[in-house]
Amino acid sequence: MSARSVEKERLSPERAKDLPAPLLYIYPGLAALGYRSFAASRLNNSKNFVYSALSISSSPSHFTLLLPPSLILESAITNNPAERINRRGTARTYAEYASAWIILKSLGVLPRRAAIRLAQLIAALVRRLVPRLTRHAAANLKLAFPTLDDAARQRILRGTFDNLGRLLGEVSRFPRLTPDNISRVVVYEGLENFLAAQAAGRGVILLTGHIGAWELSVLAHSLYGHPMSFLARRVDNPLVERLAERYRSRYGNRSIDKRGSVREVLRVLKSGGVVGILADLNSTREEGVFVDFFGVPACTTAGVATLALRTGATVVPGYLIWDETSQIHRLHFEPPIETIDTGDAKADVLANTARYTAALEAVIRRHPEQWLWIHRRFRTRPEGEPEIY
């Protein structure tokens, strides 16, 4: 496919509105639900307020769809805040920012348990106001767990929205977190795996997904003395983006714009730095390869494998899991995943991507209620297969 056709695919309106945006990045209101397709929804004013309030994230993050270096194209979307405000509309820009600010600050003044519980109620409300999220999750769960009965899938679905609410509640309290109190909220498991990879000096790619309170994992790691870079797609609303940056970058973390990011990512890794990449979202055919995810072919970013092969960086799986019994988040690092490098670039990218995806799937299987099932993970289908959603 030509560069021109790839650019057309990436920038088409239909493609653009479906790209996931970082869950701490979209409007701090819909913090965990953050898809651009929400913005296209014809919701009434009250629903729009709730959406802005719950929409802070992730396409996280959506930090995930990284084109191989050979396909990186110049972004056609300006980074000039004034132009972005004009394009979006001044009234809409400030209304979204105001609702996001109000939700975050209102939750942030509450005690932690109260903030999380109220945020979970907001997430439950969004579940009812935006029924297609439930439909997407139901379709995903039926594919991933075909032997479970409907009651079991519904429990996972409810847990998914509870998890998103917990994420929003935790994000609202980011300004209160310090190196002195972070251990009351997040503890490590397997930190030695990360430290050994970092000591090797080849750079570290933290392989992660939209698991647990993933936005908290980045901040917690920096509060413990390990700041890092992470890939992120800029939010359409520059005021909300600035607000999100203030929340997540207070202790040395740095976001790298996913569009045209390869040169900067290579620089960080070759200097021995750390880059976090969420690698669990649907990709286009131009950006990804098909590997099995819960036994179903899923188009998955080729970026992690491409970077590992090109730089020799160590790939370490890391993720944050909520421990209900202990009432604490556990930031877990697994042993590195060895990079397969046979010299056949195409085969190596496919083989490594399959291994990364299997590692993330194993975590999700252990904690299914803490993954982002509302995402249309299987949207891109192999040629000839029918659409799922």
Q: Which amino acid is at 88?
A: R
The two three-digit tokens of residue 122, written as one number: 């907001």
pLDDT for residue 73: 36
pTM listed for this prediction = 0.81
pLDDT for residue 240: 85
191 vs 99: CA distance, rounded Å? 38
pLDDT in tens for each of the 389 residues of the chain?
A: 433 333 333 333 333 333 333 333 333 444 333 333 333 333 333 333 333 333 333 333 333 333 333 333 333 345 677 777 778 888 889 898 999 899 999 999 999 999 999 999 999 999 999 999 999 999 999 999 999 999 999 999 999 999 999 999 999 999 999 999 999 999 999 999 999 999 999 999 999 999 999 999 999 999 999 999 998 777 788 888 888 888 888 899 998 887 767 889 999 999 999 999 999 999 999 999 999 999 999 999 999 999 999 999 999 999 999 999 999 999 999 999 999 999 999 999 999 999 999 999 999 999 999 999 999 999 999 999 999 99
Neighbour tally for 309: CB within 10 Å = 17
250 vs 243: CA distance, rounded Å? 11
Domain locations along the chain: 3-370
- List beta partners, residue 232: 257
211 vs 280: CA distance, rounded Å? 9
pLDDT for residue 79: 60
Residue 185 phi, psi dihedral angles, 5° rounding: -115, -40
b/e code 149-162 from CB counts within 10 Å (16+ = b)? eeeebeebbebbbb
